[in-house]
Structure 1
Amino acid sequence: MSLIVTPFGPRSTAMEVVAGVDLSGRAAIVTGASSGIGLETVRALATTGARVVLAVRDVEAGGRAAEEIAASVEGACLEVRELDLADVRSVDRFVAGWDGPLRLLVNNAGVMESPLRRTPQGWELQFATNHLGHFALAVGLHDALAADGAARIVSLSSSGHGASPVHFEDLFFERRPYDPSLAYGQSKTANVLFAVEASRRWAPDGIAANAVMPGGIWTRLQRHWGEERLRATRAAVAADGIAVKSPQQGAATSVLVATSPLLEGIGGRYFEDCREADRVAAITDGLHGVRDYALDPAAARQLWDHALDLLGAARRAG
């Protein structure tokens, strides 16, 4: 099976890849939409005529983002709704409040390499937010996505998935020492596995799901690194000549996978730099390629069933 390429590349912007796309009358949801890549994803989708919902934990920040986008995109149709992906009850409230078909679900929000924190269910925060919250959201919105007839889900992963497969025997670091990088890595692997299994299960419903790697971008995602590590990393990136993307360029792959006619009916794949990524044995440059374990259909099925069990237990416990 040949890899998918497009006319766009690593320096393309979200506005460039969405030019000419018409989503008038369609609905889209972008999580984590108040800053960075999420904000630029909303801005680009707003130009298509879609009604875009900014699903955010901080409603005030989401409101400021919506006002800023509305000032730059004439006729933008925007709405801000509260969503805390680490809280199953918040996800369920969001789903219960949704009405009508849904064309696009962009699972953009994320936490990276945070100190060890646990949800009330005892779930490690990165896995709970990056995967389980988005999983609950997508499953809850399945009927709305199916009602559209040509819906797409974009699951934001990262080259950080190369740090770890999903460790089903100890998802939440209850027996092994907590490592922020490994925790982030397995959550990003889970984002890819979700796209693989969602596409397998939901393709008959007209739903396609793919995972994307935005690229190397400086955003609030690195806020847990600390000043010393951030300075050292910036210096190393500059010394190595690595091209850092702007948020507008970082949003391009998400927007392309969400909207491009070239990708109609395509699902279960991992994209970077506006093309399908190569499978690699290791992500040697820290940015490019997808590991085989992230696309493993057996692991994808296992993760899906395990996530359903975890969410079911959480809801029964109240």
Structure 2
Amino acid sequence: MNSATPPARFTTPFGAESTAAEVVSGVDLTGRRAIVTGGASGIGVETARALASAGAEVTLAVRDMAAGARTVADFTAATGNKDTQVAHLDLADQSSVAAFVAAWEGPLDILVNNAGVMASPERRTPEGWELQFATNHLGHFALATGLHAALARDGGGRVVAVSSSAHHRSPVVFEDIHFRERPYEPWSAYGQSKTANVLFAVEAAKRWAADGITVNALMPGGIRTNLQRYVSDEELARLRAQAAGGTELKWKTPEQGAATSVLLAASPLVAGVTGRYFEDCNEAVVGELSARTGVAAYALDPEAAARLWQVSVDTLGTR
């Protein structure tokens, strides 16, 4: 067999309508420790709820501590799991990320990089970084690399990067990542950041394989959540009609939207699977792109993945 032959597409018994609860049914996560960023809203809530229901000790890493506390109280009442907690994390603020990492003690089994910002007006961090790239990629990059030792401590750690089919809109434009020369366009900026999420998974999977850490990316599906707070209903309807090409695009429920994240975070079905991009609980087809399906070849390009890793290290000034 030719060593260059790509691995077979990975599939599971689950699909687009599967829920997080169904995916985690029968899975015992007792003694496992998990972090879910953005775990107090949208699919983050359902991701964290499913992990907690399976017995995991879950930390919700959130900006809104009050919302996090309400979510923790709800989880405790619904699941009986008293090991769910909340911690502050602002991914756009590197000092906040550093403080979160410094405060973490002991091993970490599951990291779900779920939080994000979509199609925001042009905004920049104090460092001058474009907000969506800074939040969706650089913040999660700093978090995951900062927690690498915790993930590697007991072996078998899993990192899940929530991307989007919006990565179809743009590769990482290395010549002008932060829109300093080209005109800012919200969806191109979002698409670039979502491509970066996939490229992170590709390179981290390679770098961390010897530590027993698996890293995968995913498209959760179309779910109406607070993520679209910068997108008007009219704009969203227009984009959906344009993408559908005359067909109807169905929304997923948050429970369905969290299913692929939970599969990659917890299911024994994907043990050892790494460096791939999933959708609807199955690996996506490379190059066959539609409104919500398929993964662009540039998002899986190992050279671009290695380049992005170095750019990220240089940007953050870390080793």
- Same topology, TM > 0.5: yes
Aligned residues: 312
Alignment of 1:1-318 (within 5 A): 1-232=7-238, 240-280=247-287, 283-284=289-290, 286-312=291-317
CA distance in 1: counterparts of 2:152 and 2:239, whole angstroms: 43
Residues 76 and 212 (structure 1), Cα distance of their counterparts in 2 relative to 1, 3 Å cut = farther
User: Is the contact between residue 240 and residue 249 of structure 2 (CA under 8 Å) also seen in structure 1?
Assistant: no
Tell me which amino acid in the other structure corresponds to 1:73.
Answer: T
Where do 4+ consecutive residues of structure 1 move more than 6 Å? 234-239
SS at match of 1:240: coil
Structure 2: any 5+ residue segments left out of the alignment? 1-6
User: Is the contact between residue 210 and residue 269 of structure 1 (CA under 8 Å) also seen in structure 2?
Assistant: yes
Tell me which amino acid in the other structure corresponds to 1:84.
Answer: D
Residue by residue over 1:212-262, the C-alpha shift from the partner in whole angstroms, topping out at 9 and shown as x without a partner, is: 100011111111012432455577779732221000000000000111111
Tell me which amino acid in the other structure corresponds to 2:34.
Answer: A
Superposed CA RMSD in Å reads: 1.6
Tell me which amino acid in the other structure corresponds to 2:247.
Answer: D
Residues 198 and 81 (structure 1), Cα distance of their counterparts in 2 relative to 1, 3 Å cut = same
Q: How far off its partner does 1:171 sit?
A: 0.5
Aligned to 2:3: none
User: Is the contact between residue 75 and residue 81 of structure 2 (CA under 8 Å) also seen in structure 1?
Assistant: no
Comparing 304-313 with 292-301, greater Cα deviation is found at: 304-313
Tell me which amino acid in the other structure corresponds to 1:301.
Answer: A
Residues 269 and 62 (structure 1), Cα distance of their counterparts in 2 relative to 1, 3 Å cut = same
Structure 1: any 5+ residue segments left out of the alignment? none
Q: How far off its partner does 1:52 sit?
A: 0.1
Q: How far off its partner does 1:76 sit?
A: 4.1
CA distance in 1: counterparts of 2:280 and 2:35, whole angstroms: 22
Tell me which amino acid in the other structure corresponds to 1:213.
Answer: M
SS at match of 1:153: strand
Residue by residue over 1:18-67, the C-alpha shift from the partner in whole angstroms, topping out at 9 and shown as x without a partner, is: 01111111110000011110000000000111100000011111111111
Q: How far off its partner does 1:288 sit?
A: 0.1
User: Is the contact between residue 31 and residue 106 of structure 1 (CA under 8 Å) also seen in structure 2?
Assistant: yes
Tell me which amino acid in the other structure corresponds to 2:296.
Answer: R
CA distance in 2: counterparts of 1:13 and 1:305, whole angstroms: 37
Tell me which amino acid in the other structure corresponds to 2:131.
Answer: L
Relative to the length of structure 2, the TM-score reads 0.95
User: Is the contact between residue 49 and residue 76 of structure 1 (CA under 8 Å) also seen in structure 2?
Assistant: no
